[in-house]
Amino acid sequence: MIRYATAMLCALALGACEREVIVQNEQATTAQPPFVPGPAGVGGVAGSGGSGGLGGFMAPPMGGASGDAPLDAGGGVGGEPAPGGEPAAGSGSISPPVTGLLAGVDQAGAEPSTVLDRFEVLTDALRSIERPAVGDGGASLLQFQGASRALVLNVRWDHATERWYSSSGAYQAFSAAYLDQHFALLHAEAYGVYANGSDTELSGTPSTYKEFIAASASGVAWVDYPAGQQLGEIVLRQPDGTRLVLSDRRHYRASLALSAQHAVFVEYANTAPGSVGQVMVQPIAGGAPFPACSSAYHQDHPAVDGDWVVLEEYRSESDAVIRACNVLTGQARDVSAAAGFRSHADIQGTRVVWEDYRDGAGDIYWIDLASDAEQALISGSGHSVFPRVTADGLVWVESAETEVGLLRARWQAAPEP
């Protein structure tokens, strides 16, 4: 089914979107005083330090907030290694049987992948299937516990897992990462941007409605709705704290991605139901935005690295292809077959990965843009989605029956950690 975005602008009814959000971190040992409204109900502070309350945030006692069930039920959370990790190496060693989520991944079985090795489960305790944001030391991703509870989970490569934020009534939340910085856009009494579990608000405009978030060497960006505006503008907070407005407010924009040189997003001609979105490129240095690769079809979920943008393009209600578009040369190419549904491409260098449904369940395919042939990368009886390509390998979400986990594998040529 074609999943068109709609302009559900909460800026028109901010009161309906206010939620209680709680900061959680390893230093939090006692509950801090509740949020005290400041001018216009925004920016009041109660408490101080790493667990102080800002913009509706406060730190709970360790062990969860408001009666949350522990996320570490099932293993892999709270610093404990998840089951199904790497088998012991060494000459003559006997590998343990592949169990759990790895049992459903064909490339980790008896026939080893010719592309990936060192498969491991980072955690098998996820409660919902969400796209991870991947940094140098690990991944962060949203987790939804029922219809109105959410948190941000950080999972490090050593399997230690930390709950940074939780919400007793999330409306929307977004995450992004670059190097050692993990960002979250959260909705509480205010609409704040936060990093690495801190309660320091980064946007500078917590009173305005926000959505979508992306990060790169250029900074962290989001779509910001100034007071009284029905359409938002793309704002970039640069590493030195400078705020740069990258777009006008003439269109609804969604699915933001960011590189060092470009902001990439889906732009809709209007907000009517069924409006077709096009992936647009906005140079951060200035100049007019332009289409990544023009099309009469709906485009969505872009990713960008260097001069290449990858996206999904819907040729029919059941077929979507992955396209790669070079923003300097104008080269555009379909990198996947035309029959079947594909989504959520990611790119680093010339490696492109995506989730693929040509065989029914979700598999992960890839292509090197220096070659011409797409290949299955992760397949099997499980459901493999939301792939994120890294310099040394792949991170994705795997589900099978009632288990959901975050998995990782390395390119065979990648050096040992």
The per-residue pLDDT for range 201-252, each reduced to its tens digit, is 999 999 999 999 999 999 999 999 998 888 999 999 999 999 999 999 999 9
Instruction: Give pLDDT < 70 ranges for the chain.
Output: 1-97, 108-113, 146-147, 168-171, 188
pTM assigned to the model: 0.78
pLDDT of residue 309: 98
What is the C-alpha separation between 2 and 341, in angstroms, rounded?
10
pLDDT of residue 339: 87
End-to-end CA distance of the chain: 41
The per-residue pLDDT for range 267-308, each reduced to its tens digit, is 998 888 888 999 999 999 999 999 999 999 999 999 999 999
In the chain, what are the domains? Answer: 14-67+130-216 (no CATH), 73-127+387-417 (no CATH), 251-380 (2.120.10.30)
Other CB atoms within 10 A of residue 402 CB: 6
Q: SS3 of 328, please?
A: coil
Q: How far is CA 113 from CA 28, 91, 97, 181, 377, in A?
A: 43, 20, 17, 31, 8
Tokens of 13: 């009814």
pLDDT of residue 155: 97
What does R_g of the chain's alpha carbons equal in angstroms?
21
Tokens of 121: 């489960």
Residue 231 · residue 265 · CB < 8 Å: no
pLDDT of residue 332: 95
pLDDT of residue 112: 57
pLDDT of residue 179: 96
Other CB atoms within 10 A of residue 153 CB: 25
